[in-house]
Amino acid sequence: MSIAENIKQFKEKLPEHVTLVAVSKTKPTRDLQQAYDAGQRIFGENKIQEMAAKWEQLPKDIEWHMIGHVQTNKVKYMAPFVSLIHAVDSLKLLKEINKQAKKHERVIDCLIQLKIASEESKFGLPPADLGSLLAQKKELQLDHIRIVGLMGMATFTEDEQQLRREFGILKEKYDQYQQSEAFHVLSMGMSGDYPIAIAAGSTMIRVGSAIFGARNYH
Ligand X SMILES: *Cc1c(COP(=O)(O)O)cnc(C)c1O
Rule CB under 6 A: say whether 67 interacts with ligand X: yes
Helix, strand, or coil (residue 59):
coil
Applying CB under 6 A, what is the total number of residues that bind ligand X? 14
Candidate residues 35, 94, 116, 190; the one interacting with ligand X per rule CB under 6 A: 190
Main-chain phi, psi angles of 49, to 5 degrees: -65, -40
27 is a contact residue toward ligand X (CB under 6 A): no
The reply to whether 149 sits near ligand X by the rule CB under 6 A is no
Cβ partners under 8 Å of residue 53, min gap 6: none
Stretch that binds ligand X, among 28-36, 47-55, 160-168, 205-213 (CB under 6 A): 205-213
The CA distance from 55 to 205, in Å, is 21
Whole-number Cα distances in Å, 24 to 83, 116, 163: 16, 24, 24
Candidate list 50, 102, 192, 201; residue touching ligand X; CB under 6 A: 192
Question: Could you write out the three-class secondary structure of 134-179?
Answer: HHHHHHCCCCCEEEEEEEECCCCCCCHHHHHHHHHHHHHHHHHHHH
Nearer to ligand X (CB atom), residue 134 or residue 210: 210
Alpha-carbon span 130 to 78, nearest angstrom: 25
CB of 126: closest distance to ligand X in angstroms?
18
Is residue 197 at the binding interface for ligand X, with CB under 6 A as the rule?
Answer: no
**Nearer of residues 147 and 190 to ligand X, judged by Cβ:** 190
> Which of 35, 68, 89, 100 contacts ligand X by CB under 6 A?
68
Interface residues with ligand X (CB under 6 A) are 23, 25, 46, 67-68, 153, 190-192, 206-210
